[in-house]
Amino acid sequence: MGSLMKTVVLLCVTSSVLCTPFINKLQPGQEWPTRSSVKQPYHQLDETENGTISDTVATEVAANEEKAPENNKPKIKEDDVERIDYSGAQVWKVSTKKSNAHRVISQLASEKLIASWGGNHTSIDILVKPKALENVTATLKNKEIAYYVMIEDLQQRIDEENPPLDENELELQDRRGHRMTWKQYHRLEDIHGFLDYLAKTYPSIVSVNSIGKSFEGRDLKVLRISDGKKTNKAVFIDGGIHAREWISPAVVTYFINQFAENFDVESDDIRNIDWYFLPVVNPDGYEYTHKSDRLWRKNRKGYGGCAGADLNRNFGYQWGGKGASRYPCSEIYRGSGPFSEPESKAIAQFFKNTAAEFSAYLTYHSYGQYLLYPWGYDNALPPDHKNLETVGNLMAQAIKKTGGSEYKVGSSSGLLYPAAGGSDDWAKSLNIKYTYTIELSDTGRYGFVLPASYIEPVARENLAGLRVLASQLNKE
Ligand SMILES: [Zn+2]
């Protein structure tokens, strides 16, 4: 972050008055419609505590029995934080076909020898710490649990993931009026600069609004693309709920670029929709992955000895159920209550206040290549699950036809494991019909550390999937 920008951001944190001139204003007549007398099908928040912790989640560490006090002092951290070095750490794919596998993995995780990167019904990917390699190898061999090494040296992959732009690209960058490319993973400043650039360049169709602030005071910028037709459907798309899933904001901004820059020549399916994009739900975590810990997942709100809640366990539908943790040190910490985190709360408030009636909610994550529909909180299906399955399959076919990647389609609890408090379940609880969590590439070769050269192919094939959904919405 440049020093001027840093000063501006810090000023914004200190005083909203000082900040006002820097906030991108909406064009006259472009006020986003807010809900007034329209009744919202808004569910009561489930306040009951449910202590069930999924025994399948290897990251669960029952270290903090007591709920840690919240540290409510938002402040953007300085850049001189220490960078975590993953030299010698490996990522393994471990078969879970043997009945004891989950128990063994949970045990290794509780001893802090490994961390889970996620899995499905046949395998789980684990990060093995360098000092634990011998121990974990011996344990798995002893228990006859099969595994293979996906990443030999994690730090090497991190170092190679995001190379600098070549000279041609740098020159183009100077001429374009924004710094965003899809050949590199960009910092938040570039992403937000790109959104503001589009609003300034295409004021008749593009507008940007901050729907709230992150814990550390960063804007949660939503970009809308709309030609204002009364008959338009509305779609909400977000990315970057989990900080380390860099491919997600990259793909969401690719969609934005495609629709905004080519709106005049876009298909009617695209032009008949009001598009709302929130490319970085978790800006504090995102910046933290760039500056300090490449593999950070949660937001950055302080909870005593451990930082961060898992925003995708913090949404207020069936909050606190299976696959979410009550312990702040856990990677899947649910937060101190439903919508306790400023980032998830801002989204809930936005949906509560907007007059837009969303027909679809898509949330992009990585990795695994899945198109998941509700429910996530338990092995249950919504009444329209067949419809969600059919459209999901059509999207998956379009993805495969365009780029060759195979995406599995199913309910999140069924295809993966139950995880309560996800944004998708909450969106579905608002009666948003086409609600999907999309787990982007890959299936584990690079995992979260997907090289930047994959951004364009992954985005292109997923744009094809999104077009299928747009076409479906236009038929209804
Ligand atoms: Zn995720």
* Ligand 1 centroid to residue 257 C-alpha, Å: 23
Question: Per the structure block, which two tokens stand in for 221?
Answer: 């910028």
* Ligand 1 centroid to residue 236 C-alpha, Å: 17
Apex 266 CA angle, 261 and 270, nearest 5: 105
Bridge partners of 371, per DSSP, are 409, 438
Domains and CATH numbers, the chain: 3-20+164-475 (3.40.630.10), 86-161 (3.30.70.340)
Residue 198 CB neighbour total at 10 angstroms? 26
Cα(247)–Cα(398) distance, integer angstroms: 19
Shortest CA distance to 127 belongs to which of 140, 138, 114, 139? Answer: 114
Provide the sign of the torsion angle of the four alpha carbons 154, 156, 159, 160, taken in this order. negative
* Ligand 1 centroid to residue 334 C-alpha, Å: 14
The residue whose two tokens read 């993973």 is: 185
Alpha helices, DSSP H only, in 165-213? 167-176, 188-201
Catalytic residue among 266, 331, 341, 439: 439
Question: Is the complex ipTM more than 0.90?
Answer: yes
* Ligand 1 centroid to residue 304 C-alpha, Å: 24
* Ligand 1 centroid to residue 138 C-alpha, Å: 31
Check residue 369 and give its pLDDT.
Answer: 98
Neighbour order of strands in the sheet with 147-151: 114-119, 123-128, 90-95, 147-151
Active site residue 439: yes
Q: What is the pLDDT along the chain (476 residues), one digit of tens a residue?
A: 444 444 333 333 333 333 333 333 444 345 677 866 433 333 333 222 232 223 233 333 333 333 444 455 555 555 567 899 999 999 999 999 999 999 999 999 999 999 999 889 999 999 999 999 999 999 999 999 999 999 999 999 999 999 999 888 888 887 889 999 999 999 999 999 999 999 999 999 999 999 999 999 999 999 999 999 999 999 999 999 999 999 999 999 999 999 999 999 999 999 999 999 999 999 999 999 999 999 999 999 999 889 999 999 999 999 999 999 999 999 999 999 999 999 999 999 999 999 999 999 999 999 999 999 999 999 999 999 999 999 999 999 999 999 999 999 999 999 998 999 999 999 999 999 999 999 999 999 999 999 999 999 999 999 999 999 999 999 99
Cα(36)–Cα(355) distance, integer angstroms: 8
* Ligand 1 centroid to residue 365 C-alpha, Å: 4
C-alpha distances out from residue 286 to 11, 106, 250, 291, 470, Å: 21, 27, 12, 9, 29
